[in-house]
């Protein structure tokens, strides 16, 4: 059962915005999926967005807390990240955001 404190606690989103070298988006997508599969505690969902017709993308990964996000940076995750980095045209811009408003459709 949720109490008021749980209700007030916000999720966090790790957002990465970047561009892959020409034709490398598909390979990066596979590695992204592998990396996400290593996540456990506190992981709340991941989205990879691609700007149509380009190799530009945005990754949004939701976490219960910043501590959970940090705790999930395992050796397996780091190894996959090392394989992904050479696919970028330049290092991605990464920021952690706090989710302050979540609106879901009425079912």
Q: What rounded mean pLDDT belongs to the chain?
A: 91
pLDDT at 3 over 70: no
- Nearest-angstrom CA–CA distance, 66 and 68: 5
What is 4-98's CATH number, 3.10.20.30, 3.40.50.2300, 3.90.650.10, 3.30.70.100? Answer: 3.30.70.100
Q: Average of pLDDT values for 44-50? A: 97
Let me know if 4 is exposed, middle or buried by CB neighbors in 10 A (0-12, 13-18, 19+).
exposed
Q: To 10 degrees, the CA torsion angle through 103, 30, 87, 36? A: 50
């Amino acid at each position: 059962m949720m109490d008021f404190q749980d209700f007030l606690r916000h999720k966090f989103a790790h957002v990465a915005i970047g561009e892959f070298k020409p034709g490398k988006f598909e390979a990066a997508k596979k590695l992204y999926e592998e990396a996400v599969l290593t996540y456990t505690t506190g992981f709340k969902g991941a989205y990879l967005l691609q700007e149509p017709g380009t190799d530009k993308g945005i990754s949004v990964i939701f976490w219960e807390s910043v501590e959970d996000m940090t705790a999930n940076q395992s050796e397996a995750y780091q190894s996959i990240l090392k394989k992904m980095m050479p696919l970028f045209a330049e290092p991605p811009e990464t920021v952690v955001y706090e989710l302050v408003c979540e609106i879901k459709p009425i079912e």
